Amino acid sequence: MRLVLTGNYAAAYAAKAAKVEVVSAYPITPQTQVVEKLSEFIERGEMNARYIRVESEHSAMAACIGAAMAGARVFTATSAHGLIYMSEMLWWAAGARLPIVMGVITRAMAPPWSIWSDHCDLLSLRDIGWIIYFCENAQEVFDTIIQAYKVAENEEVLLPAMVGWDAFQTSHTAEPVDVLSPDEVSKYLPPRRPLPYVIDFERPFTHGSLCYPDRYMEFRYLMDLSMSKAKKAIVEADEEYGDLFGRKYGGVLEKYLCEDAEIAVVTMGVLSGDARYAVDILRKEGYKVGLVRLRVVRPFPSSELKKELKSKKLVCVIDRNISIGRGGILGTEIKALLKNSSANVVNVVAGIGGRDVSYEDIVNIVKRSLDLVEKGEVPEYMWYGIDKEYVVKAVGEYYEPPAL
């Protein structure tokens, strides 16, 4: 069924198609449409599910944990302050190995208040044991949420999954979406198998009690092991989805015109559409450029990225996030991957707090990066789009991270 849906509505339809049994969420801009739509579905009896209208995001994730512990398939969604507010419980969900799926509509953190996108909220939680997907458009949001359940519930994996998409540009932009029905999806996604880690009165167990240093480390090791297995599961889930429903996304990475490319642009999320357009323009101008879009941040596609990027002349990583004092988070990871290769990595921080990044900007970024590589002046990272006049007026100087 084709419907014109925003990214947020697509998420709600995906939760319905996945036969989610418990939703627990707390409203925050720009996530609200997701939970409003789900309330409608549940109150109209279109979903056989319970909606727990909690009083905070901390409780939203706690209720998801409780429901998942009792064997239910659960869904929630949040954004920025909500995500950070629930962060204690996000560790708990991962450590408890519960296959919860959560939509994260990325939004800049205050102060100052902002409701527009950047990826600092989501990426600040990259080390806690959640699988992290990131989508480019509403269709991908729909498809990825269903795939995420397949991966999270895989018994080799059993880790929760966040599915990210950008505030407004994806969350509130309507586009035609091919919506699958719960029946169609059930061919792909069987009901959640309750074992293990599910409350059972015949087989009582204690979960999460004090663990001494002689065992705790193994629990963390096992999470890491499962995360490494998640990569194969993600690729297989995408393939199987493609075989059944005709859409797939390249597993962990989507590549565009990469085969003969000497320059690779690396992006994530909604900017990728403009980046693809910029690649077309640069190609016409004679630049051999391609695009690598990260679809998954955890497990990090290390070997896939390395294989794709190691012999490029320029790898231009556009980060819609900033690790204050270190640069872009993805750029930092990719630099570490390519340290023994001939590739030059230019890490560009752009689009923070919803700042627009057009295809022209991306064309500019690529040309400037190439120039820096040719001059041998590659900086640790660089900010793109800062109003220098404003900064100089405010603090008397403009700072550029130095060349390394």
Q: Which of 6, 24, 154, 272 binds other proteins (CB under 8 A)?
A: 24
Q: Which is nearer to other proteins, 28 or 357 (CB)?
A: 28
Q: Which is nearer to other proteins, 52 or 318 (CB)?
A: 52
Q: Which is nearer to other proteins, 3 or 70 (CB)?
A: 70
In the complex, what is the shortest distance from the CB of residue 109 to other proteins, in angstroms, rounded to a whole number? Answer: 21
For residue 299, which of 175, 156, 89, 167 has the smallest C-alpha distance?
A: 156
In the complex, what is the shortest distance from the CB of residue 128 to other proteins, in angstroms, rounded to a whole number? Answer: 13
Each residue 211-240 as x (binds other proteins by CB under 8 A) or -, in order, gives: xx--x-------------------------
Q: Which of 36, 39, 70, 244 binds other proteins (CB under 8 A)?
A: 70
**48 CB neighbour count, 10 Å cutoff:** 10
Does the footprint of other proteins cover residue 71 (CB under 8 A)? yes
Q: Rounded to 10 degrees, what is the CA torsion of 177, 141, 182, 22?
A: -140
Q: Which is nearer to other proteins, 111 or 204 (CB)?
A: 204
Does the footprint of other proteins cover residue 49 (CB under 8 A)? yes
How far, in whole angstroms, is CA 321 from its chain's centroid?
A: 12
Question: Six-digit token pair at 285?
Answer: 């101008």
Q: Which stretch binds other proteins (CB under 8 A): 46-54, 122-130, 318-326, 389-397?
A: 46-54
Cis bond leading into 379, ω under 30°?
Answer: no
Q: Which is nearer to other proteins, 215 or 375 (CB)?
A: 215
> Within 13 Å of residue 147, how many CA atoms lie on the same side as its CB?
36
- Give how far Cα 376 sits from Cα of 51, 186, 367, 380, Å: 57, 55, 14, 12
β-pairing, 296-298 vs 131-134, is antiparallel
Q: Which is nearer to other proteins, 25 or 292 (CB)?
A: 25
β-pairing, 382-383 vs 344-349, is parallel
**172 CB neighbour count, 10 Å cutoff:** 17
Does the footprint of other proteins cover residue 205 (CB under 8 A)? yes
Q: Which stretch binds other proteins (CB under 8 A): 12-20, 62-70, 143-151, 369-377?
A: 62-70
Binding to other proteins (CB under 8 A) within 247-286 occurs at none
The Cα–Cα gap between 296 and 108 comes to 20
Does the footprint of other proteins cover residue 69 (CB under 8 A)? yes
Is residue 67 a contact partner of residue 23, using CB atoms and an 8 Å limit? no
Does the footprint of other proteins cover residue 25 (CB under 8 A)? no
**190 CB neighbour count, 10 Å cutoff:** 10
Question: Six-digit token pair at 386?
Answer: 């800062």
- CB-neighbour burial class of residue 110 (10 A; exposed 0-12, middle 13-18, buried 19+): exposed
Q: Which is nearer to other proteins, 88 or 360 (CB)?
A: 88
In the complex, what is the shortest distance from the CB of residue 156 to other proteins, in angstroms, rounded to a whole number? Answer: 23
Q: Which of 12, 34, 60, 266 binds other proteins (CB under 8 A)?
A: 60
Is residue 304 a contact partner of residue 338, using CB atoms and an 8 Å limit? no
Q: Which stretch binds other proteins (CB under 8 A): 178-186, 196-204, 284-292, 332-340?
A: 196-204
Q: How many residues bind other proteins (CB under 8 A)?
A: 42
Q: Which is nearer to other proteins, 49 or 265 (CB)?
A: 49
Binding site for other proteins (CB under 8 A): 21-22, 24, 48-50, 52-56, 58-60, 62-72, 74, 88-89, 92, 199-201, 204-212, 215
